[in-house]
Amino acid sequence: MISNPDKFLRSARNGVLAVCAGLFLLGGCAAIPADKPGQEAYYEANDPIEPFNRAIFSLNRGLDAVIFKPIATLYRDALPQTMRDGIRHFLNNLRTPVILANNLLQGDVDAAQVTVVRFTTNTIIGFGGFGDPAGDLGAKFRDEDFGQTLAVWGVGEGPYIMLPVFGPSNPRDTVGMVVDTLIDPINMWADNTDRNAVPVVRTLVRGLDERSRYLKTLDDLEKSSLDFYVTIRSLYRQLRNDGIRNGGSDDPIPTPSISLDEDEQLLGPRAELLK
C-alpha cells in the first residue's frame, strides 16, 4: 500500500506535467480556452493532451477497422453463442487470483468469499470454468482490478490517456493494468516455464471476446454520436466509476443522481484549478 498518498499524487501530477511539457513541444497539448464556459469545459473534459490522444484514437480506429473488427465479427458469426459464453467464463475463471487479490486489497471480504465460491463451483461442476453455475445461482461475476483498488484507496484518476491498442485509460488505470499483469500467477508460471505465448494468446482472446460483444453497441454509438472520441471518453470514465462503486452488485450505493441544474459542476478532479 502507498504509505503517503498525498506525496504519491503530487509526484504523479509532476510526472504528468513533465509528460505534458514534452508533448506540448511536439504540439500535443490542448490550449486552455480564455472564456469562462470554455475553461469549465476544458477542466470537465480533464484531457490536457487531447490532440495527442485524438491521434492515437485515429490509429486505434484504423487498426480496429482492418484487424480487430473483422476478426471479432468472424468470431461472433462462426462460433455459437454457447461456445463464446464458455470461452468467456473460462477466461473470467482464470482471472480469479487477480480479482481475489484486489477484493482483499480493497478490504471487501464479502466479495472475496464470492470470488472463492465462484472459482470452486465453476471449476468443479462448471467443467473447469467453461460453465458458470455459480452465476446461475446468483453469485454473479464481478471484475476487479488494481486500478479500482487504487481508486478505493483514494488515488485520483489523473488526466485521460488514449493508449495505443489498449484504448482509453488514465495514469491510475494504466498502473493498475501493469500491476494486475505482474501479480497474475498464470503469467508468473508462464514466465518461469518459458511459455511466453500463453499470456499473449490469453490477452488476444480476451480482447477478441470483448470486441465481439460490443460490435452492435459500438456501431450504434458511432452512428448517433456527434463526436465519437468524446463519447468514448465519457463512457470510459462513467463505466470505470460504476465499476469502482460496484454498481452491478445487489447492494450498490445508488448511483449518484444529478441535479440537472445548469450550474451543476461535473468537473472532476481538476476542478480546483478553475478557482
Task: Name the amino acid, one letter, at 100.
Answer: L
* 27 part of the interface to other proteins, by CB under 8 A: no
Between 169 and 187, CB nearer to other proteins: 169
Cell of 27: 504540439
Among 185, 220, 273, 274, binds other proteins (CB under 8 A): 220
From 55-63, 93-101, 180-188, 247-255, span contacting other proteins (CB under 8 A): 247-255
Q: How many CA atoms lie within 13 A of 181 on its CB side?
A: 12
d(CA 200, CA 206): 10
Binders in 143-202 for other proteins, by CB under 8 A: none
Please list, in sequence order, all residues whose beta carbon lies within 8 angstroms of the beta carbon of residue 32, skipping any fewer than 6 positions away.
39, 42
* 44 part of the interface to other proteins, by CB under 8 A: yes
Between 14 and 238, CB nearer to other proteins: 238
d(CA 144, CA 8): 22
Binders in 50-89 for other proteins, by CB under 8 A: 81, 85
Among 35, 77, 194, 272, binds other proteins (CB under 8 A): 35
d(CA 73, CA 75): 5
10 Å CB burial of residue 62 (0-12, 13-18, 19+) is exposed
Among 42, 43, 52, 90, binds other proteins (CB under 8 A): 42
Site residues, other proteins (CB under 8 A): 33, 35-38, 40-42, 44-45, 81, 85, 220, 223-227, 230-231, 233-235, 238-239, 241-243, 245, 247-248, 254-255, 257-258, 260-264, 266
